Amino acid sequence: MLDRPHPTPATPSADPFALAKALSGLHFIGGAYVPARSGKTFAVVNPATGIEVARAAEGDAADVDAAVTNAAKAQKEWAKMPARKRGALVHQCAALLQEHVDELGRLIALETGKALRTESRVEANVVADVFEFFGGLGSELKGESVPFAPNVLSVTVREPLGVVGAIIPWNVPMLLMALKVAPALVAGNAVVVKSAEEAPLAVLRICEIMNRVLPPDVFNMVSGFGPECGAPLVAHPLVKKVTFTGSVETGKIIYRAAAEKLIPVTLELGGKSPMIVFADCDFDKTVSGALTSMRFTRQGQSCTAASRIYVERPIFDRFVTAMKDAVNGMVMGDPLDEKTDIGTIISQGQFDKVKGFIAEGAATAGATAHVCSRMPEDPALKKGLFLQPVIFTGLTRESRLVQEEIFGPVTVIQPFDDPEAVLAEANDSDYGLAASLWTNNLKVGLDLAHRLEAGLVQINQNLVVQANLSYGGVKQSGLGKEASLEAMLEHFTHKKTIMVNMR
């Protein structure tokens, strides 16, 4: 292991507030924490209290250039290392990350407001898992031999792309960083990450942990705003691939910028994922499945949130009642408290946006807003961005709440009578990320699974992204796959053909 000085504690720290302060005002470039060249910073706020907990470096094109230039130099050596050895180093990162799960969980809970027990610590664990998975795939960077002619040996080899620019959002920043960084590195690329302005700290903490194992410069991170820091990363001539998770609107801006340079992109964008419940389902399992599908513990801030739930009419009323009861049993409170199930919305802007959707739904004729759970009573949290989950009934497909991604704790339950009709409604969406079907009739389930327009369809479960299973949407939900061997091969390497005439 490399031993380099670093300003943050190398041993797990139970105090996320101290850690947030220690990480203030820094990028991670060239194997070290460095301030923004401009000296500018912006506030990182704990959404549970409204109090500033750290400053983030406000990166611009000069910082991006330093990070990319360093990465490009380091990438050449990194690519020469045997692939399996690169994988072994990424595997070592996994072990170190596992030791820091609690620390990383607390830090991400502090900056995002996601509850430690139900979300934040879980995310930290999955990060270690993703590094472990990709760390084992070095030997899979294989090519093929191709039949051409008896006297000509034709083979393909996989080569890295160069410097990868990775732009991530705030909802699961550590996980989304890991899904991009781990495969890119194993494939022999160097990476520059642009963190999300709302949640730059936990991912910044990970840099030091990775740096204990990896060569300096192969992994860099800048923080800052989209147009000032993200756009120069996409535009930089030495960046040969961009992988992005975020909004459809920003995804299209990035796609256009990448087109100017003719570089490949992977885009993981929004979703409006349907959950279809048949009367013959295992009722209790399906109700608890709906809570996880809707990601209520993440305040619904998930691209795959089951924000459209279709329930077969005979069990509709019973299902709505059971779901309300279940969500009422969830505890909203301090994200750092182990008892808390539901934390806060990330930012005032998102809070207002989600409230706008709720007000519009509540004002719709015939609609009922079932407001669930209870606001926390702790006076220290009175300025927190807590928002009670809302289950809507009585809305129809024309409603903006059924068509648009809300990215908040709001779901719409609608009854259905006929499988063909519900399939048509489920597919009547600009998005196509994920879907789930709940039935004991596998004939019906499999038939619909084949005809749903989505990148991921699950029957009788609705798990979040899993290592080894390709994840990525169709339609406005994006381009390309993540999380799998296929994702590493297709999106972080290119195939070169080599032919040898042996006569």
DSSP 296: G
Q: Which is nearer to ligand ADP, 116 or 231 (CB)?
A: 231
Give the per-residue contact string, 216-245, with ligand ADP (x = CB under 6 A; - = no).
---------xxx--xx--x-----------
Cβ at position 195, least distance to ligand ADP in Å: 7
* Per-residue binder mask for ligand ADP (CB under 6 A), 112-151, x = binder: ----------------------------------------
Beta carbons within 10 angstroms of residue 352's beta carbon: 11
Q: Kindly name the residue from 303, 312, 405, 425 that is annotated as catalytic.
A: 303
For ligand ADP, the closer of residues 227 and 314 by Cβ is 227
Residue of 250, 302, 344, 414 interacting with ligand ADP (CB under 6 A): 250
The span from the CA of 140 to the CA of 187, in Å, is 9
Distance, in Å, from the CA atom of 101 to the CA atom of 477, rounded to the nearest integer, reads 30
What is the DSSP code string of 355-386? HHHHHHHHTSTT-EEEE-S-----GGGTTS--
CB of 239 to ligand ADP, least distance (A): 11
CB of 483 to ligand ADP, least distance (A): 19
Neighbours of 16 (CB within 10 A): 27
Q: How far is the CB of 405 from ligand ADP (least distance, A)?
A: 10
Distance CA 426, CA 39 (A): 49
Judge whether 413 and 425 are in contact, CB under 8 Å. no
The residue from 71, 214, 254, 287 that contacts ligand ADP (CB under 6 A) is: 254
Q: Which tokens go with 225?
A: 């705003």
What are the tokens at 419? 């499988």
The mark string for 193-212 relative to ligand ADP (x by CB under 6 A, - otherwise) is: -x-xx---------------
**Which helix (H) or strand (E) is 56 found in, with range?**
strand 51-57
Interactions with ligand ADP, residue window 459-498 (CB under 6 A): none
Applying CB under 6 A, which part among 74-82, 139-147, 192-200, 307-315 lies near ligand ADP? 192-200
Catalytic residue among 58, 103, 111, 268: 268
Q: Of the candidates 30, 198, 24, which has an alpha carbon nearest to the alpha carbon of residue 7?
A: 24
Contact between 156 and ligand ADP per CB under 6 A: no
Strand residues in 81-207 grouped as ranges (E): 152-160, 163-167, 190-194
Residues 6+ apart with CB under 8 A from 302: 171, 172, 295, 407, 464
Q: Contacts with ligand ADP in 160-179 (CB under 6 A)?
A: 167-170
| Of the residues 253, 362, 367, 479, which one makes contact with ligand ADP according to CB under 6 A | 253
Q: Is 225 exposed, middle or buried (0-12, 13-18, 19+ CB in 10 A)?
A: middle
x/- track of binding to ligand ADP for residues 280-309 (CB under 6 A): ------------------------------
Q: State the DSSP string of 66-115.
A: HHHHHHHHHHHHHHHS-HHHHHHHHHHHHHHHHHTHHHHHHHHHHHH---
Nearest of 392, 388, 426 to residue 412 by alpha carbon: 392
Catalytic site residue 453? no
Decide if 268 is catalytic: yes
Closer CB to ligand ADP, 41 or 154, in the complex: 41
Binds ligand ADP (CB under 6 A): choice among 246, 408, 473, 478: 246
Our CB check for ligand ADP shows the closer of 101 and 196 to be 196
- Per CB under 6 A, residues contacting ligand ADP are 167-170, 194, 196-197, 225-227, 230-231, 234, 246-247, 250, 253-254
| Residues belonging to the active site | 268, 303
